[in-house]
Structure 1
């Protein structure tokens, strides 16, 4: 379904692509009449293979002047389309210009067919991404799909940064859920309630994997909220009659037309629908979901093909994968899925990587056909425990960005009372203290947003990382110890039934009026967890019983009073009722402001909100807080007019020449047995010549580890730590740097060497891999860098 918005985007993309092509090739539009004779331009000093040129230096070569775009030496002007030289046009005495006799008979932008001097100079070849005219817009580190002219310039500028709407410099991504439809007189949150003018992206939650391994929203079920529901009489919720469906998708399409810069992306999976799905009657079907779909490439292909059809049918801007979780840890994720996940622990990461790679390829191919770019994004865990079972998160090269689920860091699944969404560690996290984590890992705590952001920063630029923020609370009752509850314990009373998956070692979750947004157990009873929208907690703090409590089925009375607290180190925000010993933690204005400033200061790509319906406004007539946009508007304010996000993997200049060398990570132990983390890392030389013995290989990795990486291979790997010690108040530095020397025999052309490395805490993939040969540094195609030329070692 092509809309006017799509056509505008395509025209804009083609305009950028043409500008890029002209800048690279010096090309123009073919003349249809006799062209005037070109003016004589003096040739600059001839280019020399031994001279060093820096940005804006000019040299002449083959009858043209050329301007250097960056530092370069021994790189022939015009030898590589994406090389360091920009053609400034002909120089010297003008030649008579003949009258064109028809269409051009050749490609004026074609590649040189050899060295014009006739000398063997081992000139660089084109980068692996080929001649895609949109290559200049590809984000640093994203893998191009071979053979596809992916239309990156549809959504990215020529620095590889996403073009954002509403004056935003960073993303503000809000999850919009399908189930807040107003059923049972509960407050509805529909597409017309979304603050479109404050957002960059909207994620619709959720679609699921059907039993046929295709993406689904139960569109064939009458009355489903996505495509077959209406809200008569609700202002702003009237349907677009020109669409063949109603429901949320109709309203999203309608408001997207009015806000064409905002991208709308369906999310697949989530906690409840990763290993199953809800049928048309609202019953959960344990089908296996992602776990069984990724059992085979054929099933993955079926799913990817259906995603393309789905995105096209409803006019979406891509797909978001919320797979919770492809980890090899035992008993991880939804307890209802354990029969699927535990049986497949050793294959889940491999299946996840195959899924994301396949989706990238299908979406890129579809985008090339449609003239628009389709985003592929993912929600990722942030706990060091879960990430230990996800190898090195090998999917980072396929996604546009990751949304960190930097919330649910503490909850009633155990007795340790901590913040829902700490930004920093303070060295006193009760769960980590009880588990001996600080002692084991040099004082590093891994249940905070800063640690999770640095985990991914080791593998990708800051701008492809979005920090998650919760517009809801988690909480406990019967809390003892701690400071206003924080850091205390909440032990359930005798006879308390713990939820599945907690091994009967749960905490005492808050219930009743302190648990408005409760889930239910298999028997249909509320699960005590202290889950509330922020607007409800603000009413509790004011001593106000909202007029909505009966609709939610919770008591309409308040015992005691709630005091508001913040912590300057962790940036935790919480409410404490001393009379009932109830603790509720979530993000209101203070924490959201602190996190927005962190995102702006660290170059992160933006924030991701779960979920928009938890935001608040104040109804003066009713004297109560209700659904609104206060927090989202605050994020918009803080993340507009700030600096552009970080767009490069490296923190400094990188080599402009690269060799075709790739890395592969294998042989991880499963889950909790993955200690030390000790995979085999294969360095594959895809070049036509060997990497010689004595060359050095340097790479960087996340400071989420202690910085003491070494090897069991005898290659003498050493690490220069970027930081050390506890991470109280933040990790600070982004990278540790490791180095080893290529052994005797080198890395043969088409061959590999294996380094059996070992480290302690989880890190995502290595990055900024540099091979130094005879004093010359080379980047590697493994990093998918921008603006390099590929040479043989």
Structure 2
């Protein structure tokens, strides 16, 4: 999410990682533990004051039923002769959280908003003569931060967070002259040149973040890192040279960053008597999330803000909605990629808000998720085909730096919130929604000159043609179509925002995140045009007034009271585009004092964002025993949250205390989690400490018999030669793989036994 740029190659979409297992802290007081959200990581040895931020049901104290999180940007300060959106313009009665965008990582790996001087909008600017923007003289800083602190004192239920990164400043920062410095940002902060974790940089950043929150009175930090994915050419093209060389280490180091921030914020909270929040802006794109492995960083987060927008835009030729709620089975980009016709995808379209919500639901409860809505448009020009432009194509030329192919982004009067590159307008169809409302009415707007438009000299800046409104109820997506210019602008309005608010309420989702508040609209009768207003935040507030409490439980079933100290990691993901089918190893480590015997059953949930076809290639027994979503597609939304998996250790493999076991998995679309683990043996079922379920602690099972405490034995040895990916095999050839014998039905090469299904080339001949 960022200073929104048309360059959004691979826009949208984050979160990832390696599961971290820490035993329940005995230092946590009973009172604070009663308030800790279900599944939130507990920092060992720290009595974190959860009850300052959460009630005894683990729900956030927000003065409302659901969150309304508005991003407030530092650059709409009015000193550039453009319309100002200052702190006094925020609808404080309509929001629960405000995220200030953006701070950045400085060359010393510290959080920064630049030097404190009179030109710094965060800490130094003043707005004399602007009613409501008077500085509080008691504070040692000025600028937006002064006003945020002042207004928060008047609205104590509203929380403020500092957001770090964004599109332009994840891999660098904008200096005082407005130039981007390609310093490395999060990429070099988290990894060294050899792809190892840069722990010194991470610690420097985390320590400086704690001090920053203390200095400026923020309630927490929001990390908008775009993106720690292993996919090449993801994120800002200006970062490709540095980021692509470090892809192998980004996900691993991202987990360390999140864990370090969580632990240092918890320690500061215990010391200061003030709870500090940790949140992220996370991508919604299935392509980006595939390269982020599994989103187990979520255990460290108070909540996830999903960037469920920029799902289509001028970074490619496919014309579609910016932020559709559901898939309609017709997405031109997915159709071109064969998603709908390929059986392995289950017909599941993954460029929509509902898919992104269910992805993160696999790792956290619904109440720790907020869906993103855009208060801005995106669009193309010279559109060919489609229905009133929808699902047409628009092929561009003279692409932004770093892109060899792109779409034809709308420009001129259809792109007033444009970014520039080397002095050249980047076409994106990027506008505040108040401007799109004026286009719909045939009004150019009295403000266009403030954005550099000159209709007298540039035909692209002139208002021509008619912008007809359209709405697709399956997608829950509105747009404007100018048939004369062949311009498509994806928008939002009261109908679509109201439908999304209803969706949030019905699913028990935590709330809505808005990028950005300055795009909201209202009719200004004095000006005879739409301008900055509160129409959409009013709509959200009214919808949420009738909503009940958000969902506060991770698992659909109660967590067992007794828990084993067991750790589950996901390791050895192939990188980027090689990660298909998605094929990590699940590594189970028994850190308890008891042996887990061969034949023990491990169950877990994974989200319905992937079809119920998960398989293993390690000689274990694995089956999907329940699916909350079934069907040929996800048109209109996924029907439920989870698939439940049953997996059994081989009879010959006991897991002694301190021992680990790997099982190779395979699945077709990205998942977060898995979560909600249970382990059953000896007639009892246990949870695992790593799920951080509310209540209770680690309870060892009874001492088992000698039959269940034997050490791990080696698997049987297969007589057939091991399968070789590079070797061709003819019909009738046999191989060994994952503890089983396999026979080829016909010629094959590169197809892994155990992944080709009942009707595929390999048939099993049983265990060796």
Structure 1 and Structure 2 fold alike (TM over 0.5): yes
- Of 335, 343, 359, the residue aligned with 1:455 is 359
State the number of aligned residues. 661
Task: Tell me which residue corresponds to 2:109.
Answer: 213
Task: Tell me which residue corresponds to 1:687.
Answer: 592
After TM superposition, give the deviation of residue 279 of structure 1 in Å: 1.1
- Of 349, 352, 356, the residue aligned with 2:251 is 349
Unaligned runs of 5+ in 1: 1-125
The separation in 2 between residues aligned to 1:261 and 1:327, in whole angstroms, is: 35
Task: Tell me which residue corresponds to 2:471.
Answer: 566
Task: Tell me which residue corresponds to 1:723.
Answer: 629
Task: Tell me which residue corresponds to 2:698.
Answer: 790
1:731-746 equivalences under 5 Å are: 731-743=638-650, 744-746=652-654
- Of 764, 770, 777, the residue aligned with 2:672 is 764
Unaligned runs of 5+ in 2: 1-22, 192-197, 456-461, 702-768
Task: Tell me which residue corresponds to 1:4.
Answer: none
- Of 442, 445, 448, the residue aligned with 2:349 is 445
Structure 1 window deviating more from structure 2 (375-384 vs 278-287): it is: 278-287
1:530-549 equivalences under 5 Å are: 530-549=429-448
Q: Describe the shift of the 1:218–1:131 C-alpha distance in structure 2 as closer, same or farther (beyond 3 A).
A: closer
Task: Tell me which residue corresponds to 2:241.
Answer: 339
8 Å contact 1:411–1:418 — kept in the other structure? yes
- Of 151, 154, 166, the residue aligned with 1:255 is 151
The separation in 1 between residues aligned to 2:600 and 2:696, in whole angstroms, is: 20
Secondary structure (helix, strand or coil) at the match of 1:455 reads helix
1:502 aligns with 2:400: no
Task: Tell me which residue corresponds to 1:435.
Answer: 337
After TM superposition, give the deviation of residue 501 of structure 1 in Å: 3.1
- Of 646, 655, 658, the residue aligned with 1:747 is 655
Secondary structure (helix, strand or coil) at the match of 1:352 reads helix
Render the CA deviation track for 1:646-679: whole Å, top value 9, x for unaligned. Answer: 1011113232221111101100001111011111
Q: Describe the shift of the 1:131–1:394 C-alpha distance in structure 2 as closer, same or farther (beyond 3 A).
A: closer
1:456-605 equivalences under 5 Å are: 456-492=360-396, 496-503=397-404, 505-521=405-421, 523-556=422-455, 557-605=462-510
The separation in 2 between residues aligned to 1:779 and 1:249, in whole angstroms, is: 45
1:143-162 equivalences under 5 Å are: 143-162=41-60
Mark the structure with the bigger radius of gyration.
1
Give the CA RMSD over aligned residues.
1.2
- Of 601, 606, 611, the residue aligned with 2:516 is 611
Q: Describe the shift of the 1:175–1:129 C-alpha distance in structure 2 as closer, same or farther (beyond 3 A).
A: farther
Structure 1 window deviating more from structure 2 (419-428 vs 646-655): it is: 646-655
After TM superposition, give the deviation of residue 129 of structure 1 in Å: 5.1
Q: Describe the shift of the 1:144–1:789 C-alpha distance in structure 2 as closer, same or farther (beyond 3 A).
A: closer
8 Å contact 1:219–1:226 — kept in the other structure? no
- Of 53, 62, 69, the residue aligned with 1:173 is 69
1:299 aligns with 2:201: yes
1:377 aligns with 2:279: yes
After TM superposition, give the deviation of residue 563 of structure 1 in Å: 1.0
8 Å contact 1:129–1:144 — kept in the other structure? no
The separation in 1 between residues aligned to 2:435 and 2:172, in whole angstroms, is: 31
The separation in 2 between residues aligned to 1:437 and 1:128, in whole angstroms, is: 45
Q: Describe the shift of the 1:127–1:218 C-alpha distance in structure 2 as closer, same or farther (beyond 3 A).
A: closer
1:643-682 equivalences under 5 Å are: 643-682=548-587
The separation in 1 between residues aligned to 2:499 and 2:242, in whole angstroms, is: 40
The separation in 2 between residues aligned to 1:596 and 1:245, in whole angstroms, is: 37
Secondary structure (helix, strand or coil) at the match of 1:451 reads helix
Task: Tell me which residue corresponds to 2:82.
Answer: 186
8 Å contact 2:68–2:512 — kept in the other structure? yes
Task: Tell me which residue corresponds to 2:305.
Answer: 403
8 Å contact 1:512–1:554 — kept in the other structure? yes
After TM superposition, give the deviation of residue 792 of structure 1 in Å: 1.9
Q: Describe the shift of the 1:270–1:131 C-alpha distance in structure 2 as closer, same or farther (beyond 3 A).
A: closer
Return the TM-score normalized by structure 2: 0.85
The separation in 1 between residues aligned to 2:516 and 2:337, in whole angstroms, is: 31
8 Å contact 1:707–1:722 — kept in the other structure? no
The separation in 1 between residues aligned to 2:248 and 2:222, in whole angstroms, is: 24
The separation in 1 between residues aligned to 2:664 and 2:272, in whole angstroms, is: 44
The separation in 2 between residues aligned to 1:483 and 1:199, in whole angstroms, is: 37
After TM superposition, give the deviation of residue 265 of structure 1 in Å: 0.4
1:773 aligns with 2:669: no
The separation in 1 between residues aligned to 2:427 and 2:354, in whole angstroms, is: 29
The separation in 2 between residues aligned to 1:691 and 1:789, in whole angstroms, is: 19
Secondary structure (helix, strand or coil) at the match of 1:576 reads strand
After TM superposition, give the deviation of residue 222 of structure 1 in Å: 4.2
After TM superposition, give the deviation of residue 131 of structure 1 in Å: 3.6
1:242 aligns with 2:138: yes
Task: Tell me which residue corresponds to 1:134.
Answer: 32
8 Å contact 2:308–2:323 — kept in the other structure? yes
After TM superposition, give the deviation of residue 716 of structure 1 in Å: 1.6
The separation in 1 between residues aligned to 2:477 and 2:488, in whole angstroms, is: 12
8 Å contact 1:414–1:502 — kept in the other structure? no
The separation in 2 between residues aligned to 1:221 and 1:273, in whole angstroms, is: 20
Secondary structure (helix, strand or coil) at the match of 1:411 reads coil
After TM superposition, give the deviation of residue 723 of structure 1 in Å: 2.2
Render the CA deviation track for 1:153-184: whole Å, top value 9, x for unaligned. Answer: 0010011100112xx21100000000001133
After TM superposition, give the deviation of residue 130 of structure 1 in Å: 4.1
